[in-house]
Amino acid sequence: MSFERFALDIYALSFAVLLVQMVIGAIMAVRSQNLVHCFLGLVMTLIGVAGLYYFLGSPLLAVMQVMIYVGAVCVAIAFGLSLTHKSGEEGLQNPGLRAIVPPFITLAMLGSVLLGLADREWVGYPQKIDESPIGQMLLGEYLLPFEVISILLTVAVIGAISVALIRRRN
Amino acid sequence: MEYLHTLPNNLIVYIIVAHLLFGIGLYGMMFRSTLIGILISLELLIQGVGINVMAFGTFLHVDPLSARIMTLFLLGIGAAEAALFLGIAVAVFRNYKTISINKLTRLKG
């Protein structure tokens, strides 16, 4: 077995491991009784998604995913978890017959997407491209959405702070 | 092993995983019983959408850079939404001493 062959094996195997890790993490995040286990499952899934972005040919998005979600959002969720913790309230409601609704919606969406893809030709494949024009595009043709997102983030953070402090001010 | 090698270059794999994440997140949003649990499920749902956008942009579009920018915006919106949701959850807990959605029924007719 040549070295390239071995490297390709490792590459494909790591992709499969990432997929399995993501799905297990997602199921853990949704089905677990303990909210801390849910949180850990979410972290597993987010790291798996970052790996998937890397496999799709974008190291920039993988790093952004780790920085924004695993680094910032998950820490915020951990703080929220500890601030609002009250034992005996975790867990799931009894789904009953309604449990078929999410699989039904998901299968309908998946079916329509695959149907739409049936007669389309794939024009690309995952490859590493030069991502440096993104900065200039953000300040050029995508300037308006960029500014709107920055205003949205500012408003959201100020709103979150003021909502969380309402009681304390009085 | 040969089949495994084609896995990372197959659009269908990415689409199926994205929809799986979306479906699991939807299940959690419907059946979790605390606000924080719903937030965690919502994050899963947004991740599914992000993978979908990125996969379509990579495989079907001639310009992969706009897909990356779109996914970056999606990450930003997800972060803003998480911050606001956590602020609301903390405020609700401070006022009602619970975040269980079965007990937050003051607006129920």
Q: Taking the domains of chain B in order of start, what are their residue ranges?
A: 2-96
B3-39 pLDDT tens trace: 777 888 888 999 999 999 999 999 999 998 888 999 9
CATH number of A1-87: 1.20.120.1200
As given in the structure block, the two tokens for residue A162 are 């003021």
CATH architecture for segment(s) B2-96:
Orthogonal Bundle (1.10)
User: Across the A/B interface, how many CB contacts are shorter than 8 Å?
Assistant: 247
Quick one: three-class SS letters along chain B? CHHHHHHHHCHHHHHHHHHHHHHHHHHHHHHECEHHHHHHHHHHHHHHHHHHHHHHHHHHCCCHHHHHHHHHHHHHHHHHHHHHHHHHHHHHHHHHCCCECCCCCCCCC
Give yes or no for residue A170 having a pLDDT over 80.
no
Give yes or no for residue A167 having a pLDDT over 70.
no
What is the pLDDT, as a whole number, of residue B103? Answer: 84
**Nearest Cβ partner for A61 among B37, B54, B82:** B54
Look at B83 and A76 and tell me if their CB atoms are within 8 Å: yes
Spatial distance between the Cα atoms of A8 and A14, rounded to a whole number of angstroms: 10
Give yes or no for residue B2 having a pLDDT over 90.
no
* CB within 8 Å of chain B, chain A residues 83-102: 83-84, 86, 89-93, 95, 98-99, 101-102
Please tell me which residue of chain A has the smallest CA distance to B5.
A12
What's the pTM value of the predicted model, to 2 decimals?
0.90
> Would you call B82 an interface residue with chain A, using a CB distance cutoff of 8 Å?
yes
User: First CA to last CA across chain B, in angstroms?
Assistant: 60
Lowest mean pLDDT among A141-145, A164-168, B86-90: A164-168
**Nearest Cβ partner for B24 among A16, A27, A131:** A27
Average pLDDT over residues A33-56: 93
Please tell me which residue of chain A has the smallest CA distance to B90.
A164
> Would you call A10 an interface residue with chain B, using a CB distance cutoff of 8 Å?
no
